[in-house]
Amino acid sequence: MEINAISRPNNTVQCSTGEINENNEDQMTTRTHSSCFYVLQLDKFKDITELSNHLQFVKYNFNKNMNEDLIFCVSVYTWSDK
């Protein structure tokens, strides 16, 4: 059977990655809320192009192990970066 003969919607990959992202977010939220404690950490760094970036992590205890998950990373454009 040829691969091209298999019918599939155009957004198959987009739907799959969206579902994975939602599942990961749900798991992280559930684990963080079930932990006795959690810590939010915000870090700032400059990349090789001297652009400022902010990262936010959450650290929490799950199944007697410390876990660290990245919540977001965003480039920050400021006047001082120029």
Contacts 24+ apart (CB under 8 A), 37-42: 37/61, 40/71
Instruction: Report the predicted TM-score, pTM, of the whole model to 2 decimal places.
Output: 0.57
Are 40 and 58 within 8 A, CB to CB? yes
Provide the pLDDT confidence category of residue 81 given band limits of 50, 70 and 90: very low
pLDDT at 80: 57
- pLDDT, one tens digit per residue, over 44-70 is 888 888 888 899 999 999 888 998 988
